[in-house]
Amino acid sequence: MVKSLKLVLLLLLFALLLSGCSHVVYPRGAIPVKMDVVGSMDAKKVVSFINGVTDSKLNLVATKGSDKYFADYKHWTSSIVSQLEEELRNRGVQVKPESEVGFKVGVESVGLFWGAFATRCIVRVRVEKIDGTWSRTYEGNNASNHFNRAIDGAAYKAVVAIMGDQDFKNAMR
């Protein structure tokens, strides 16, 4: 009787361990944007960026079997803003904490999708001028057979989409 009870409890514990798997996904590091991908920037004014996501909370972005994947949109936005500022500085744009041309950046959604041979990550980022005169939503969509590369690549492609958009370049002027 005691052995069967131990076996039942062990199986129950094993089932609970398998059903409680949660993961937090985030960009691990910025992928540098080569100069020939976006080109130079000719902003004549000083620009600034703020994180438009005020709450740091975990959002469910995907499930796979019993695994749940969460993302903190504030952390994702901070990563994208940091990379965007660094890339603009590398292209001669003056980026300062407060300026006459300010942008609010916010991640609206993150999605993870599994295919036969690759994982796809899609991130939607909204960029708007602080004065409210301009806004646009960009998408970074990347697939890779390595889970973290899919995530890093989606953030990279969102930054490339923002920097390569002529409307964004015009809004910086």
What pairing do the DSSP bridges indicate for beta strands 67-72 and 58-64?
antiparallel
In a domain, 11, yes or no: no
CATH code for the domain of 56: 3.40.50.10610
- pLDDT band, residue 7 (cuts 50/70/90): confident
- pLDDT band, residue 66 (cuts 50/70/90): confident
49 within 8 A of 96, measured Cβ to Cβ: no
pLDDT digits (tens, 9 = 90+) for 95-127: 999 898 999 999 999 999 999 999 999 999 999
Q: Select from 135, 140, 145 the least CA-distant residue to 160.
A: 140
pLDDT digits (tens, 9 = 90+) for 126-138: 999 999 999 999 9
126 within 8 A of 139, measured Cβ to Cβ: no
In a domain, 16, yes or no: no
Count up the domains in the chain and report the number: 1
- Sheet of 135-144, strand order: 47-51, 101-114, 119-129, 135-144
Q: What percent of the chain has pLDDT over 90?
A: 76
What pairing do the DSSP bridges indicate for beta strands 135-144 and 67-72?
unpaired
The model carries a pTM of 0.87
* Burial (Cβ within 10 Å: 0-12, 13-18, ≥19) of residue 125: buried
In a domain, 17, yes or no: no
What pairing do the DSSP bridges indicate for beta strands 119-129 and 101-114?
antiparallel
* Burial (Cβ within 10 Å: 0-12, 13-18, ≥19) of residue 49: buried
In a domain, 1, yes or no: no
Find the domain containing 121 and state its range.
Answer: 22-171
In a domain, 7, yes or no: no
In a domain, 39, yes or no: yes
